[in-house]
Amino acid sequence: MRVVCLTGMPGCGKEEALVVAQTLGFSVVRMGDIVREEALRRGLPITDATVGGMAHAERQGHGMGIWAERTLPRVQGERVLVDGLRGRAELEIFRGAFGTDLSVVAVHASPKTRYDRMLRRRRTDDAGTLEAFHARDLRELSWGLGDVIATADVMLVNEGTLEEFRRQARAALGRLHG
C-alpha cells in the first residue's frame, strides 16, 4: 500500500489535487468527511464555527491525533490519498501505520489567494468574513498544521492557473507513486 497525505491551509487548492489524484487511480479518503459525519451525527449545523469548534473540542478531549485514528480504518487499497492532515500528531499516527510507504504533499497559496477562492466557492463550512478566515487559520495552525506543511515531502505552490496547478500536481503524484 502506498499512501499520500495531503495538507495545506483552507482554500489552498487541496480539492484540485484530489481531482488529479483520482485521475491517476488513487482512492481518496477525506478526513474532513469524517469530521462532518460526526457533526451531522450530533445534529450540528455544517458551518465553519460549528464543525471547526467540534473538531477542536474532540482534539482537546481525545488527543490531537483523534481524527487520524478515526480515519485509519478507511485507508484501504493500493494507492490512497488521505486529504486533510492537520498536525504532527496526525502525521505520527499515519507514519506509525504506513512507515516508508507514506508521503506528505503540501499545497500552498497566499492568504489573499485562499480568501478570494473561499469567497468564490461558497462552501457552507468556509469562513464568510475576513475575520472568520483569520480565526480559522489561527485555529488550524494551533493544531500544528504549519509544522506539517513545513516538513512535507513535496510542496506545491498554487498561485497560477488551474491548469498549471493540475500539471504540477500530476507530476508530483506521478513521481511519488507512479
The Cα 153–Cα 104 span in angstroms is 5
pLDDT of residue 178: 54
Beta-strand relationship, 2-8 and 79-85: parallel
Give the DSSP letter of residue 11: T
CATH (domain of 69): 3.40.50.300
Given a contact cutoff of 8 angstroms between Cβ atoms, the answer to whether 25 and 79 are in contact is yes
Residue among 81, 49, 85 nearest 67 (CA): 85
Cα–Cα distance measured from residue 164 to residue 46, given in angstroms and rounded to the nearest whole number:
32
Q: What is the pLDDT of residues 106-163, one digit of tens each?
A: 999 999 999 998 888 877 667 778 998 999 899 889 989 999 999 999 999 999 999 9
Number of domains forming the structure of the chain: 1
Question: Per-residue pLDDT tens for 7-64?
Answer: 999 999 999 999 999 999 999 999 999 999 999 999 999 887 899 899 999 999 999 9
DSSP 13-78: SHHHHHHHHHHTT-EEEEHHHHHHHHHHHTT----HHHHHHHHHHHHHHH-TTHHHHHHGGG--SS
* In the block, residue with C-alpha cell 450530533: 42
C-alpha 110/C-alpha 159 separation (Å) is 7
- Its domain, for residue 43, covers 2-177
In this prediction the pTM is 0.91
